[in-house]
Each structure stands twice: as C-alpha cells, then as structure tokens.
Amino acid sequence: MSLRRRSITAGLVMMVLLCGLTVIAQEAKVPVRETTLENGMKLLMVERHESPTVAAGWVAHVGSVNEEVGVTGIAHLFEHMMFKGSRTIATTDYPAEAEIMARLDAIRTEMDVEYAAMREAKRRGEITGSIYLPENQTPGLAELREKMKKLQEEQKELTVNNEFEQVYTEAGASGMNAGTMEDGTFYFVTVPANKLELWFWMESERLLNPVFREFYTERDVVREERRMRVESDPTQKYWEQFDFMFWGSLPYHHPVVGWPSDVESISRPAADRFFATYYAPNNITAVLVGDFDPDEALALAKKYFGRIPRGTTEPPDVVTEEIAQLQERRMRAEADTNPSVHIRWHAVPFIHKDAYALDVLDLVLNGRTGRLYKSLVEAERLATGEPYSTFSPQKYGGSLEVGAELADGISHQEVEDSLLAEIELLKTEPVSERELQKVKNQSLADSFRRLQSNFFLLFQLLMYDAFGDWQYLNVSPALIEAVTPEDVQRVAQTYLTDAGRNVLWFSRKGGTAEDPELAALSGQAKAMAKQGLAQINQIDDPAELEQGLQQMKAMKGEAPPEFQPAIDLMITRATERLEMLQAAAGEEE
C-alpha cells in the first residue's frame, strides 16, 4: 500500500506497520535496556538466547524529509556510500586515493560549469531530454568525462572492491543491508553471537573514518535503482506524482530516491557536509537484539562508539509544517494496471495521541471481516481482491488511505462513492462493541507474534525510534485497549474530511494489450474490433445500441472466418453494455 513507494525493504516495513500498529497487553512488554553514551549516541539492548546470533543495527535520524531543494536523494545516496569502506577498509593506499578523489572533485566542479550551460541551452529549447544523456553532452563535457574515467580507473587500482561486505561475509554475518525512508536511514545485519565485537569495530569504523569512494559511479547504480523501482514499474511512477500532489509544504513531497536531476548533480563535498551534520553520534540510535551479555555489550559500545566525537552543530529541526489543504484534489492516471480507486487524507504524526484511535479505525476497516470487504465485496460486489485501509503515521505527519480495485463493469465513481459511504458511517455512528473487541483481541495476539523474531524486533525498535519514540512498542497495548467507540468516531470526523480528500483513479491505458480478449485477436480483425469496441462504449442510448447490435448479428454470417472471433467479441460487449444501459434506464424510472 502506501509503503510500496518507499525506497526500503518494503516487505519488512509492511510487516512492521501491519503487525506493529496493532499492539496490546502488558505481558507482551519487551525488556529494553536504554543507555545514552557521553557523545549522545543512544543504545537499546534486548537480551534473548534462543539462537546463537545477534541482530544488530543503527538508525541515523535523517531521511528525505531533511533534504533541501537541489539535493533530493542525498540521504539515500548516502546509504549507498556508507558501504564504501574507510581509511583502512577497502583500500591499499588511502593517501594516494585521497589525492585522486580531490582531483575528481575538481573535475566535477568543471563539469558543473558545462552542465549549467546545458541547462540554459535546454531552457532555450536547444536540447531536449535529460542533460545527462550521452547524446546531449558537449565536447567539453565529453573530454572531462574521459579524464574522470581515467582517474576512476587509477583509483580502482588502489581500492579493494567491496571489502566492507567481504569482512562481514567471511565472519558469517547475514542479511546485511540498509534502507532509507523519509524519517530515517537504517543499517542492519545479523552476526554470530561470538562476533559481536566485529560489529562494533565495523560500524564505529565507518562512522569515524568513512571514505566516500566510487562516489561518481555509485550514482549510476542509484539511477538504475530508480529505473527499477519507479520508472520501469507500471504504477510506481504515478504513485510518486500522487505523493507529490498529496504533500503540500512538508518535505515528504519528494521521492526518497530523489528527483533524477538532483541525484546526478550531488557532489562529494556536499556529501561531506551532510555526513558531518546528520551522522554525528548524537543523531544516532543503535539497537542490539539477541544472544549477548548487555554489560559486555555496553563496555564495547563505550570503547568503540565512545571514540566518535559529538557533532559540532546539532542537526537542524524540520520547521516546515504541512499547509492545510483547502479543497479536494484529484488525479487520474492511465497505466498498465487494473482499474482502481484510492483516497488519502492527512492524519497525524506517529507520537500524536490520536494515533491509537486511528489504528483502531484502520483495523475496523481492514480484513475479510472488516467493513470495506463486507460492503464493497460481499454486499455490493463492486471490488475485486481485498479493499484496504492503510494508516501511515510518520515523524512529522501521517496519512490514512483507503482503496479498492474495480470489479468488471463497475465504474470508478461507484467504488469511490462506496468507499466514502463507509467513511461517512464511521463519522455518524459509533463502531459496535463486538467490532472493537475483535480488533483488540487481534492486537493482543499480534503483540506477541511480532516479538518472535530477533531481526523483526530490531527493525521495529529502529523504526519507532526514527518515528519519534521506540516506547510505542511497550506503551501502545494499554493505549489501544483504552480506545472507545466515541474516540473512533471523533478522529473520523476530525481527519477524514471532504475538503481533505486526495483521490487517485487508475485506469488501464488504452491502445496496448489492455483488453485481454482484444489482445487475443490479431491483424485486421483486431484493429476492427478495437475500433468497434471504442464506438460501442460511446453509445449511451439503448435504442441506438440495440439497432447497432442487430446489424452486427445480421452481417456476421457474411464476414470472413478470420473476422468471426472479433465480431463475436463486439456482439458480447455490445450486449453487455445494452443490458447495463437498460438497467440504468430502469432505475431512473
């Protein structure tokens, strides 16, 4: 749902939000030992001995929400750069490398002059398409790129390719990865229980002495990541634009992976400044879950992380608040996908007191015994699959979205009306005690289920900490248990307003293999059917359609055999449409 848009291991985030936001019961409390080191770094530890491993990770409290205009995507690019090693790791001669990198930066500065000229040429209409395309490059730029390439080859001689990963892999670490979200950047791995010190060594090393080598080639990787996740995905590129429409002033509006123009232009010195501000220990929380002794782990934390100096300036607070939405906003997207309707409202940040009632509201709508399925699928037969609700509270703002995929022959408007009718019902009537109890029972069971895996627990602690308070894990059961039917009604009235709606309709793109039965035809027969179906869909008068249908039936016998399937399809569709028009006319009378 909304999380498929994020640049992170989406499955995990989904698990956290789906299970994680449905907590309850005192028994499910996690004994977390919390310590803050002298340099401001926070450490959370949970000791468990079921498996001889430790799930270890840390979160830097920086994500795309902290990015300024022109450098969108830098937080995510950074996530990639943090795997490039240090002054010790991944190099055979750091001083020589440093010299090459300084020369690379200088070339990059010269290239910026060329790019600026190309941007102007583009504004004049002399260049079309991205200024970064090979066909658009100026002779000067080509020369600089050649120089850059040579230097990169030189540096490669001094670099030990991916040594950071190599050290971990050989030590039996697994699941090493990282993820960037709007509110945080996460780094995590599972290590054998006897090698926890290695984790401290490696992580403190990359925070203390990082080297952003391969900076200019890694951006090509990020561009490929964007092509994969967004540009070559049938719906993601539209979701990106919907997000941009949804968020007003709050810097959640731009994609985590960054605008293509920006990602290409970020320089290494800009990255250095970013690191100094946001990767200081006072902006980081580390978490350990698994088979270790907390006293020993704390001693190691002091020894390794303690040597990293506190940042010279505190990371700036995000001061821009979301501007109130004055009127409904709508977007219609034509894509290679089944038709669907999605409606999103602004809700509350993660630590807001109304978040618990919204959790409950969300659960009341979801699932096969939830309200959306019962009405849109079972009673009205308007939707296929399972209609959904997603409450996504983040650090500085939140959203609640409902949506459904259209059943055959159903219009977008019918589905939208029906979804809104369910929202209206939440505002006008309190939810039943039985519904509320069901949701609370599920929360109780889920509050235990979500604790079963070390890695999953680690991930929840990191994420809740990024959203503003890891204690959510332990305090939310009681707070959800306390939610009343009146609370749910009140939050529905407060947040799910008419003017606050943002509506997205997906329609299947015309002209491609959109209509499966049409796609099964070929050649002239297909062209004819395509044209015919388009005409049929434009006729609104039942009498006129009836006449056309009779003519088709009469002429069918005379058509050549290869056209028969096409005519059959047109007759079927015309008959269906006629029935629909007649039914609609009947209702009006």
Partner 1 sequence: MRRAINTAVCLLLLVAAAAASAGEIPSRPEQLKYPDLVFDVPDADALRFELADGTPVYAKRDSQFPLVNITVYFRGGRYLAPAGKEGLAAIAGEVWRTGGAGERTAQQLDEELDFLAAALGTNISEVSGSASLNVLSKDLDEAMALFMDVLTKPRFQEDRFAKAKDDLIQNMKQRNDDTAGIEGREWNRLIYGDDYWMNRLATKASVDDLTAADAKEFVTSLVRSGNIVVAVAGDFEPAAMKAMLEETIGSLEPLAQELPPIPQPAHTPEPGVYVVNKPDVNQGRVSIGQLGYREGYPDEFPLMVGRDILGGYGFTARMMKTIRTDEGLAYSAFAALDFPVTMPGTFRAFYQSKSSTCAYAAEIFFDLLGAVRGDGVTDEELKTSKASFIETFPRAFASANQIVGRFAIDEILGRPHAYWTSYRDKVAAVTAADTKAAMSKGLDPDKMIILVVGNIEEIMQGHPEHEAKLTDFGPIPEMPPHAPTSREPCAE
For the segment 113-142, give every residue that binds partner 1 (CB under 8 A): 134-135
Note whether 531 binds partner 1 by CB under 8 A. no
Distance CA 358, CA 435 (A): 14
For partner 1, give the closer residue by CB, 115 or 216: 216
Residue 284 CB-density burial (10 A; 0-12 exposed, 13-18 middle, 19+ buried) = buried
Note whether 214 binds partner 1 by CB under 8 A. yes
Identify residues 216-245 at the interface with partner 1 (CB under 8 A). Answer: 217-221, 223-225, 227-228, 231-234
Considering the complex, what minimum distance in angstroms separates the CB of residue 533 from partner 1?
Answer: 15
Identify residues 18-37 at the interface with partner 1 (CB under 8 A). Answer: 27-28
Task: Please enumerate in sequence order all residues whose Cβ is within 8 A of that of 453, keeping only pairs 6 or more positions apart, or say none.
Answer: none
Note whether 534 binds partner 1 by CB under 8 A. no
571 to 275, 521, 529, 536: CA distances (angstroms): 65, 15, 10, 10
Task: Count interface residues toward partner 1 (CB under 8 A).
Answer: 91
Considering the complex, what minimum distance in angstroms separates the CB of residue 493 from partner 1?
Answer: 26
Region near partner 1 per CB under 8 A, out of 270-278, 336-344, 475-483, 567-575: 336-344
Identify residues 94-113 at the interface with partner 1 (CB under 8 A). Answer: none
Considering the complex, what minimum distance in angstroms separates the CB of residue 509 from partner 1?
Answer: 8
Identify residues 439-458 at the interface with partner 1 (CB under 8 A). Answer: 441-446, 448-449, 451-454
Considering the complex, what minimum distance in angstroms separates the CB of residue 28 from partner 1?
Answer: 8
Backbone angles phi, psi at 353, to 5 degrees: -65, -25
β-strand partners of 344: 401, 502
Indicate which single residue of 43, 44, 377, 529 sits in contact with partner 1 (rule: CB under 8 A). 377
Distance CA 13, CA 456 (A): 10
Q: What is the 8-class DSSP label of residue 404?
A: E
Indicate which single residue of 165, 414, 481, 568 sits in contact with partner 1 (rule: CB under 8 A). 165
3-state secondary structure (DSSP) of residue 250: coil
DSSP states of 148-192: HHHHHHHHHHHB-TTHHHHHHHHTT-EEEEEEE-SS-EEEEEEEE
For partner 1, give the closer residue by CB, 59 or 196: 196
Backbone angles phi, psi at 39, to 5 degrees: -85, 5
3-state secondary structure (DSSP) of residue 285: strand
Considering the complex, what minimum distance in angstroms separates the CB of residue 210 from partner 1?
Answer: 15
Note whether 79 binds partner 1 by CB under 8 A. no
Which H helix or E strand runs over 354? none
Considering the complex, what minimum distance in angstroms separates the CB of residue 228 from partner 1?
Answer: 5
Q: Which amino acid is at 222?
A: V
3-state helix/strand/coil string of 35-59: EECCCCCEEEEEECCCCCEEEEEEE
Residues 465, 502: contact at Cβ < 8 Å?
Answer: no
Considering the complex, what minimum distance in angstroms separates the CB of residue 348 from partner 1?
Answer: 26
Considering the complex, what minimum distance in angstroms separates the CB of residue 295 from partner 1?
Answer: 16
Query: How far is C-alpha 318 from the chain's CA centre?
Result: 20
Indicate which single residue of 52, 269, 409, 510 sits in contact with partner 1 (rule: CB under 8 A). 52
Indicate which single residue of 4, 98, 201, 270 sits in contact with partner 1 (rule: CB under 8 A). 201
For partner 1, give the closer residue by CB, 194 or 325: 194
